[in-house]
Structure 1
Amino acid sequence: MKIFTIILTVIAVALIIFNTTKLNFDALLTGESQTALITIITALCAIILLQILRISKKIEKLSKKTEPK
Structure 2
Amino acid sequence: MKIFTIVLSVIAIGLIIFNATKLNLEALFEGESYTAILTIIAALCAIILLQILRISKKIEKLNKQR
Give, in whole Å, the separation in 1 of the partners of 2:33 and 2:43.
15
Structure 2 runs not aligned, ≥5 long = none
Percent identity, aligned pairs only, is: 76
Dislocated runs of 4+, deviation >6 Å: none
Query: Which residue is equivalent to 1:10?
Result: 10
Opposite residue 28 of structure 2, the aligned amino acid is L
Matched residue count: 66
1:9 to partner: Cα distance: 0.1
Computing the radius of gyration from Cα coordinates, the structure with the larger value is 1
Structure 1 runs not aligned, ≥5 long = none
What is the CA deviation profile of residues 7-26 of structure 1, one whole-angstrom value per residue up to 9, with x for unaligned ones?
Answer: 00000000000000000000
What is the CA deviation profile of residues 2-44 of structure 1, one whole-angstrom value per residue up to 9, with x for unaligned ones?
Answer: 0000000000000000000000000000000000000000000
Correspondence 1:32 to 2:63: no
Superposition RMSD on alpha carbons, in Å? 0.2
What TM-score comes out, normalization by structure 2 length? Answer: 0.99
